[in-house]
Amino acid sequence: MQKYLSKLFYVLTGTKRKLALILLAFISTSVLEAFGIGLIGPFFSIASRPQVIQEVSILDGIYQKLGLQESSQFILILGLVIVVIFCVQSALYFLAQTYIYRYSFNQKTRLTSRLMKSYLAAPYTFYLKQNTAAIIKNILTETNTFTQNSLQALLILITNLIVTAVLLILLAYTSPLLLVMILGILVPVFLLFQRLGNKFQNWGQIQSQTQSEMVRVINHGLGGLKETRVIGCEEYFENQMDREAQKYSRAATLFQAAQLLPNILIKTCLLVFVVLFISLSQVFFKNNGQDLTAVMSVFAVASVRLIPASSQLIQSIGRIRNSSHALDMLYLDLKEIEKREVYVYKNRELLPESKNNGLGNSRFNKNQAMTFVNQIDLTNVTYHYPDISEPAVKDISLSLKKGESIALIGKSGAGKTTLVDVILGLLEPQSGDIQVDAVSVYDNIRSWQNLIGYIPQSIFLIDDTMERNIAFGVADAQIDSERLHKAIKAAQLEELVEQLPEGIKTSVGERGVRLSGGQRQRIGIARALYHEREILVLDEATAALDNETESRVTEAIKSLAGTKTMIIIAHRLTTVEHCDRVYCLERGRVVKSGSYQEVVLEG
């Protein structure tokens, strides 16, 4: 339990003082409720035998001080006191329970935001081994499971533990035999659920894993709808979904059915024991009817709270066990991201020191870009992926003046994309440095990335308008129309905009399905230009295009030569003829560099 709580408090966001306030509220309501229930017995005794007032000195003293004339008046006042106590207790209990739900769902909101922020800020290497289906499931499903079956269940468990303990103390004071008999019911039911603990955990793990698999199947089947439809493999994905759904259904059914057992068992056993208690009291203890009525009245009222409290207590244990896998998933992902962030920080300490130039203090201004006047220098850059000893790029040095264009060429696996990922700031080298005008980009990686526009082979387009795709990540109210039209013109998209039914307000469809490949690429160029990035990195941006479309996109790229600094990865060597220098990579090293004539034609 201690390990579980340490994980829960790690995942929990915000202040934890509110938990103490919740506990204090429930302790107060439980004591108040026990006091009210404790008055039920005397109330019934007085109502059935009013002379008790004179026989008990405390009651007689109260009776005299109040100046009452008849015992019926005392009974009425006592009844009103009990009613007020229960009304106040019920109101406080309602408010406390409402506060639990508000606190829990506020935690869900914070946790969802924290996860989204953590995933967006996670080092790029985190995603090399992570499936997006698992990330989607964690943000949407596991946060809900954590809220309802971890956090709420724990709070409800503590609440009902307090209520049950107070009621059991009250019953012990009323009748020790009654307490023993009730414990004879609750303890076996509790032990039974303890035995089922691993089952609950297993069912929770199955539910979590099948939900992740269902998201993955949806991504695969609908993400590649063209291929799915043309090949005719719909049944394959349908069968996968059906199989996972059945696994989930079975695990969920078993868990929910098991959750019904405490209430059913406790109710049934209590009924049996009430009959036995009355019988045994009459046979062995010869209790008179009035005493038995007082005891049973307390028991009856206590049972109204004891049955649901003890049932919910045991059910909460089951819910906590069932949600332990979800908690583990959230805990491990947050820890993994934290560990990788520490790993990156340590690597930064290994990089050569450079003049800070105030950039380290500008990290709070996310939109500020580094000053770029003269040139970019890569010096002895080496990078190897985690858990792989062989470097993907090794001792690479190159320079790039402002306004120049360079090309990176080489066979697949030569290290071109890895080098670009290092340049983009997605991967941080184990040794070497990247400097802009003699200032290391690692002083403030965000300000360096604010210089770069990235245009990959497959442009990511959101299911929204062309306007929002070009001004990617900018709120509507902040979109600059003048900059937008300049970017459209420079990317040669004016003709397309005129042809669209709603112009730039036309939706491009999911992943740009309503556009051609060349049009998508030019939107990618327009996006980089709209954000006014001085350095453009094109990662095989024309590789998937036909010759005519490639020619148009290449023309758009060439028109930017001299005004933008460009780094181009290409397999089709004709697309890099205009570059000032060409670097040929092989096994992570630069094996040849020079002009297009020297490296490509003469090589």
**How does the average pLDDT of the chain come out, rounded?**
81
Nearest 5°: CA angle at 366, between 365 and 367?
A: 95
pLDDT digits 0-9 by tens, 376-432: 999 999 998 887 888 899 999 999 999 888 889 888 888 888 999 999 988 889 899
pLDDT of residue 239: 93
Reported pTM: 0.72
Query: How many angstroms separate the first and last alpha carbons of the chain?
Result: 68
What H or E segment, with its residue span, contains residue 535? strand 535-539
pLDDT band at 284 (very low <50, low <70, confident <90, very high): low
Q: How far is CA 467 from the centre of its chain?
A: 30
In angstroms, the CA 398 to CA 50 distance is 102
pLDDT in tens, 101-143: 888 888 888 888 888 888 888 888 888 878 888 888 888 888 8
- pLDDT, residue 248, reads 92
Q: Is the pLDDT at 352 greater than 50, yes or no?
A: no
| Percent of the chain topping pLDDT 90 | 9
Calculate ∠ Cα 453-457-461, nearest 5°: 70
Length in residues, the chain: 603
DSSP, res 139: I
What b/e readout covers 268-301, taking b as 16+ CB neighbours within 10 angstroms?
ebbeebbeebeeebeeeeebeeeebbbbbbbbeb
User: Residue 356's pLDDT band (boundaries 50, 70, 90)?
Assistant: very low
User: pLDDT value at position 118?
Assistant: 84
User: Tens digit of pLDDT for each residue in 490-515?
Assistant: 888 888 888 888 888 998 888 888 88
Beta bridge partners of 448: none
Backbone angles phi, psi at 449, to 5 degrees: -65, -25
> Distance (Å, rounded) from C-alpha 507 to C-alpha 515?
10
**Contact between residue 431 and residue 382 where contact means Cβ atoms under 8 Å apart:** yes
d(CA 587, CA 581): 20
279-288 contacts at long range (C-beta below 8 A, 24 or more positions apart)? 280/177, 281/177
Least reliable range by pLDDT among 5-9, 213-217, 439-443, 461-465: 5-9
Task: List the one residue out of 22, 177, 35 whose CA is nearest residue 96.
Answer: 22
d(CA 289, CA 282): 9
What SS3 class is residue 281?
helix
Of the candidate ranges 144-148, 285-289, 302-306, 407-411, the one whose mean pLDDT is the lowest? 285-289
Note whether 483 and 532 are within 8 A (CB).
Answer: yes
**Which domains does the chain carry?**
2-339 (1.20.1560.10), 362-601 (3.40.50.300)
For the cut 80, the answer to whether the pLDDT of residue 338 exceeds it is no
Q: What is the number of H-type helices and E-type strands within the chain?
A: 23, 10
Residue with tokens 């307490």: 179
pLDDT in tens, 12-44: 866 667 777 777 777 777 777 767 766 776 777
What is the per-residue pLDDT across 505-550, written as a single tens digit (0 to 9) for each?
998 888 888 888 888 888 888 888 888 888 888 887 666 566 666 6
